[in-house]
Amino acid sequence: KPEDETMADSCLYCHGTKVEVKGLKERETELGEMSFPILTGWPNHGVGRINPDGTMGACSPCHSRHSFSIEMARKPQTCAECHKGPDVPAYPVYKVSKHGNLFASLGHSWNFSSVPWTVGKDFMAPTCAACHVSLIVKLDGEVVAERTHQMNDRASWRLMAVPYAHAHPRSPDTWTVKNEAGLPLLVELDGRPVSGALIGVEEQRKRRNKMKGVCLSCHSSSWVEGHFRRFEHAIDYSNKMTLAATEILLSAWKSGVAKGLEHNESIFDEVIEIKWVEQWLFYANSTRFASAMAGTDYGVFANGRYKLATNLQEMLELLHTRQR
């Protein structure tokens, strides 16, 4: 198990620590001696932070303390703090997309503080906030998308850091779900959804249409339909490549060349298992994000389809070598 400070300095930096009061200490101040809390899990501004009073969440990942700037929340560099690495490459993909090109070249002249945010007037290409959370209106004031603080309101697929892209969970309490293998996943190892764990087809359709509505405020219907067709094809392709890697891993466990679920061992500590994780956590993720945001090479050579194919071949050769 990782040390608490390691967790707080890595995963929980973005996901959020549990901040607890463990006592008080006295300090001299300009106003005399005062008592201050001794906190564990602090400092932290992770979005899922559990606060000492039992409340959950933090505003500061998007709106930093003191200024609470809506401009900051609307700029993609803010999202990059937690969505930049190979496991969630949203920001690097956005930077090389046409939308990212426009933001980099023209964004200095856009109005990032206006409420509501008018497409074609205040901004000329979407940032992360425009697609996912902001109140967007047309030039005539017609509402394109209502404001939300639920980041998946307009997302029909869960792409991030999961073996298989799938519909979003019905409940955010995903740790309560276990698949047939006893793993805390919303899908089985072959990609089938866990019964009752995911939103239905109709809810997916509603969310997809919300996102399409944002796209249609600038693009034609043929452009938007073509984009979503390619995006869902990329989801299907990346899921198949994850399934192929999973079948190799299951063969390794079955033949005894690696020890995993069947042996009550960790499924993350052997080379072939680590390569299985890389298959979906890095390469499938990158392929999906690149397709979702038209991020060009991140879906091909920069941790995309090329890496999906070569990593799969390396897993297969590793299996055959160890079976000899």
Burial category of 304 from C-beta neighbours within 10 Å (exposed 0-12, middle 13-18, buried 19 and up): buried
Whether the per-residue pLDDT at 296 is higher than 90: the answer is no
Please tell me the distance from the alpha carbon of residue 6 to that of residue 64, in angstroms, as a whole number: 24
196: tokens are 């009752």
| Average pLDDT of the residues in 234-246 | 98
| pTM, full prediction | 0.93
CA neighbor of 313 nearest in space, from 281, 268, 283: 283
The tens digit of pLDDT for each residue in 131-152 reads: 999 999 999 999 999 999 999 9
Residue 262: predicted pLDDT: 87
The helix/strand/coil state of 179 is: coil
The tens digit of pLDDT for each residue in 56-106 reads: 999 999 999 899 999 999 999 999 999 999 999 999 999 999 999 999 999
Q: Where are the alpha helices (DSSP H) in 10-115?
A: 11-15, 70-74, 76-80, 90-96, 98-106
The tens digit of pLDDT for each residue in 265-286 reads: 999 999 999 999 999 999 999 9
60: tokens are 């500061």
The helix/strand/coil state of 28 is: strand
Given CA atoms 167, 169, 174, 177 in this order, what sign does their dihedral have? negative
Q: How far apart are the first and last CA of the chain?
A: 34
Please tell me the distance from the alpha carbon of residue 3 to that of residue 9, in angstroms, as a whole number: 10
Please tell me the distance from the alpha carbon of residue 136 to that of residue 39, in angstroms, as a whole number: 40
| Average pLDDT of the residues in 217-222 | 98
Please tell me the distance from the alpha carbon of residue 90 to that of residue 295, in angstroms, as a whole number: 9
Backbone angles phi, psi at 23, to 5 degrees: 150, -175
pLDDT tier for residue 2 given thresholds of 50, 70 and 90: confident
pLDDT tier for residue 161 given thresholds of 50, 70 and 90: confident
Residue 86: predicted pLDDT: 95
Given CA atoms 302, 303, 305, 310 in this order, what sign does their dihedral have? positive
Residue 1: predicted pLDDT: 80
